[in-house]
């Protein structure tokens, strides 16, 4: 599904990714862990197409197609979804209106008609129940005045509505209490299938108790320096990152 080869990227001439390679297949869950400043969020933003980063070397392929030149919305239309670490507040646009626009624009890009209002409402009802979201919440302005947990739950709600092929969860666990974490993880697990893939970016093991990864990667200084199975996350939780840094020396 996703294949990243020797990716180098910088922002304002500061090199952040320094030869990162990663392959994610359909049906898999990958966790990317690593200390602050390692380049985890940069990787997520580059896959999503944020243009303030400059890719200087390497490439990103989605289902065999190089997506390097595609606009963020085109990547979204191809099934890329990024759950933001800090979702943006947009006063004046309700959650419902926003997701309706997002879905219909995606359908338009695929040459489909707008989703009938009845189907849209039904889907909104189902997915909001899945994430235990109150109906009143849906008519509020997008992310405006939302608590940290509400913002993250709203991200996963949108993910559920858009049904992406590749979902990248950028520190979705930060700012969540244990109940909210369980609801969010449960939502992600219900959406998982053999046809889609998930990349979980996190500092902590605790989210991985709920969303169990097939692979765990350690990102350090712009590269993946170690990969393993779920047990690697436990080891990192117990020992921190210093031992990896030492291994590298």
Partner 1 sequence: MELKDKLVSSYVAFENRVETDSEVHEIRSKALQNFEALGFPTKKLEAWKYTSLSSVLKQDYSLFPNKENNIQLADVKKYFIHDIDAYKLVFIDGKYSSFLSETTHDTFDVCLMSAALVKPKYKAVIENYFDKIATKDNLTSLNTAFASEGAYIHIPKNIEVEKPIQIINLTTGSEAATLLQPRNLIVVEQNAHVQIIERHQSLTSNPVLTNSVTEVFAAKDATVDIYKIQNDDESASLVDNSYIEQKSNSVVSVHTFSFGGNITRNNLNFYQRGEHIDSILKGITIIEGKQHVDHHTLVHHIGPNCESHQDYKGIFDERSTGVFNGKVVVEKEAQKTNAYQKNNNVLVSDKATINAKPQLEIFADDVKCSHGCTIGQLDDDALFYMQQRGIPKKEGKALLMYAFANTVLESVKIPEVKQRITKLIAKKLGVDIGFDL
Cβ atoms of 154 and 143 within 8 Å: the answer is yes
CB of 236 to partner 1, least distance (A): 29
Which of 57, 65, 66, 105 binds partner 1 (CB under 8 A)? It is: 105
Backbone angles phi and psi of 104, in degrees to 5 = -70, -30
Q: Which tokens is 67 given?
A: 């997506």
Q: Should residue 84 be labelled a site residue for partner 1 when binding is judged by CB under 8 A?
A: yes
Residues 146-165 that bind partner 1 (CB under 8 A): 158, 162
Query: Which range in 66-74, 169-177, 198-206, 213-221 contacts partner 1 by CB under 8 A?
Result: 66-74
CB contact set of 228 (below 8 Å; sequence gap of 6+): 215, 216, 235
CB of 103 to partner 1, least distance (A): 8
Q: Should residue 114 be labelled a site residue for partner 1 when binding is judged by CB under 8 A?
A: yes
DSSP 33-74: E--TTSSHHHHHHHHHT-TTSEEEEEEEEETTEE-TTS-HHH
CB of 249 to partner 1, least distance (A): 37
Q: Should residue 88 be labelled a site residue for partner 1 when binding is judged by CB under 8 A?
A: yes
The secondary structure of residue 248, as a DSSP letter, is H
Q: Should residue 92 be labelled a site residue for partner 1 when binding is judged by CB under 8 A?
A: yes
Q: Should residue 103 be labelled a site residue for partner 1 when binding is judged by CB under 8 A?
A: yes
Q: Which residues bind partner 1 (CB under 8 A)?
A: 48-50, 71-73, 75-77, 80-82, 84, 87-94, 96-106, 109, 114, 141, 158, 162
């Amino acid at each position: 599904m996703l294949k990243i080869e020797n990716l180098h990227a910088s922002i304002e001439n500061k090199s952040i990714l320094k030869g990162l390679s990663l392959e994610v297949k359909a049906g898999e869950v990958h966790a990317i862990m690593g200390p602050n400043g390692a380049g985890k969020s940069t990787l997520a933003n580059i896959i999503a197409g944020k243009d303030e980063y400059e890719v200087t070397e390497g490439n990103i392929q989605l289902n065999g197609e190089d997506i390097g030149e595609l606009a963020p919305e085109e990547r979204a239309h191809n099934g890329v979804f990024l759950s933001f670490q800090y979702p943006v507040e947009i006063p004046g646009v309700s959650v419902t209106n926003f997701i309706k626009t997002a879905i219909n624009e995606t359908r338009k890009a695929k040459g489909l008609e707008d989703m009938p209002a009845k189907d849209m409402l039904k889907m909104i009802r189902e997915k909001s129940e899945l994430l235990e979201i109150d109906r009143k919440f849906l008519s509020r302005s997008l992310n405006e005045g939302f608590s940290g947990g509400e913002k993250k739950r709203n991200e996963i709600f949108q993910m559920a509505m858009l049904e992406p092929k590749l979902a990248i969860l950028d520190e979705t666990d930060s700012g969540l209490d244990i109940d909210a974490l369980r609801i969010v993880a449960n939502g992600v697990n219900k959406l998982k299938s053999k046809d889609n893939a998930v990349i979980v970016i996190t500092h902590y093991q605790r989210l991985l108790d709920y969303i169990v990864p097939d692979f765990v990667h350690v990102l350090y200084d712009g590269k993946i320096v170690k990969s393993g199975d779920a047990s690697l996350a436990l080891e990192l939780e117990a020992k921190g990152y210093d031992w990896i840094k030492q291994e590298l020396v």
